[in-house]
Amino acid sequence: MDKNVIQQACQLLNTSDNAGDTWSQDTITITPLTPDGSLRRFCRIEHKDGRKAVAIAPPPDDTAGLQEAISGWHIGRHLFDAGAPVPELYNFEEETGLLVCEDLGEQRLHDLVEKKWRDAEQVMQCYRQVVTELARMQVQASKSFDPAWCWETPRYDRTLMLKRESGYFLRALCQDFLELEIDTKKIAQDFQALADKAAQAKATFFLHRDFQSRNIMILQGRVRFIDYQAGRLGPLAYDLASLLIDPYAALPASIQEELLEQYLDTLTGLLSYDREKFHQEYLLLALQRNLQILGAFAFLSQQQNKPFFRQYLSPALHSLQTLLAKTATAEYPYLKSLSRRCADKLENQPST
């Protein structure tokens, strides 16, 4: 971030409840932070008295980025007020989209998982805490949620599934990245059939939409959720599926099943929801999420020149095939065939 943005961030901090001694260029140190797939700019601001904050700004002259930032401000305050474990937002400048918020440190849930389960119980305690807090957030934050806060669409629906998930998978991975020949009529039939079924899930709950281990921080033994600015109303099972099939973590099937049941235990303590129906919805929404992941990783690898994401394409394809194997034999025949072709082509493709 340039000096002007840092100066603006200090002004926002000085007019927030976190003011205290003056924040200025002379009293702070700046540490740039690197985002994953975002074009936003991040930095840590540390006052000489030990206080810390994070400043987040959209790219300059980016209308969509500004709208996303405005959504993040409104949704973040709503989640915080609803008791969700999200960072406290200190102040915001709507004209530029500059946000200053609580610093949650640097440890993500993914960092624990990467230790190869060296301390498996610590990892599981964190995941149990995550699924419990997720269920609470989805239910509590749906109350008084204003769809006008959303910068993309107000609700997760069939149109979004076809355009931004299955369509994304087809375009970014199958065509652009792997350059496969596709029978568009057959794959469209499978995508539409899947979306028709997935869209039957009740979509009146808060949906994070990118709920995975790199968007979950751990601070003083407590989990905290970030990157919720694409939130909207949606079905319950989608965020849980995002967490459990997360390619970054590659959770074993037994762990996924255990966490799913614990989530349901928490959920059914908050509201009445048929567990068998939830399991059915979970499979369909996990398929949708898996397609979105593959499209996003292919796009970020190829179009955004972020090779970090390429290593997760293979586990994400394995996850997709595992999920498809759980559907009826005659369901989604072309998608099942296409997923195998994608895996074969990726395996034989040079890594660079």
pLDDT band at 19 (very low <50, low <70, confident <90, very high): low
| pLDDT for residue 42 | 95
Alpha helices in 226-332 (DSSP H): 236-244, 253-270, 275-302, 313-325
CA dist., res. 209 & res. 58, Å (int)? 19
Q: What is the pLDDT of residues 51-68, one digit of tens each?
A: 999 999 999 999 999 999
For residues 114 and 95, state if they share a domain.
Answer: no
Q: What is the pLDDT of residues 116-136, one digit of tens each?
A: 655 688 899 999 999 999 999
Q: Check pLDDT > 70 for residue 257.
A: yes
Secondary-structure breakdown of the chain: helix, strand, coil percentages, each rounded to the nearest 5: 55, 10, 35
% pLDDT > 70, the chain: 97
| pLDDT for residue 239 | 98
CA dist., res. 245 & res. 262, Å (int)? 16
| pLDDT for residue 199 | 98
| pLDDT for residue 34 | 86
Q: Which domain holds residue 277?
A: 109-347
For residues 306 and 239, state if they share a domain.
Answer: yes
Question: pTM of the prediction?
Answer: 0.95
For residues 168 and 219, state if they share a domain.
Answer: yes
For residues 95 and 117, state if they share a domain.
Answer: no
Q: Of 43, 66, 101, which closes a domain?
A: 101
Mean pLDDT of 263-276: 98
Q: Which of 35, 207, 212 is nearest to 109 (CA)?
A: 212
Mean pLDDT of 238-267: 97
1: amino acid identity, one letter: M
Q: How many domains does the chain have?
A: 2
For residues 93 and 157, state if they share a domain.
Answer: no
pLDDT band at 115 (very low <50, low <70, confident <90, very high): confident
pLDDT band at 1 (very low <50, low <70, confident <90, very high): confident
Q: Check pLDDT > 80 for residue 46.
A: yes
Q: Is residue 333 part of a domain?
A: yes
Give the β-pairing of 216-219 and 41-47: unpaired
Structure token digits, residue 221: 């033994």
- Supply the mean pLDDT for the chain: 95
Q: Is residue 352 part of a domain?
A: no
Say how far residue 224 (Cα) sits from the centre of its chain: 13
For residues 330 and 215, state if they share a domain.
Answer: yes
Q: Is residue 226 part of a domain?
A: yes
| pLDDT for residue 36 | 83
Mean pLDDT of 222-245: 98
CA dist., res. 267 & res. 140, Å (int)? 11
Q: Of 68, 101, 134, which closes a domain?
A: 101
Q: Of 101, 129, 155, which closes a domain?
A: 101
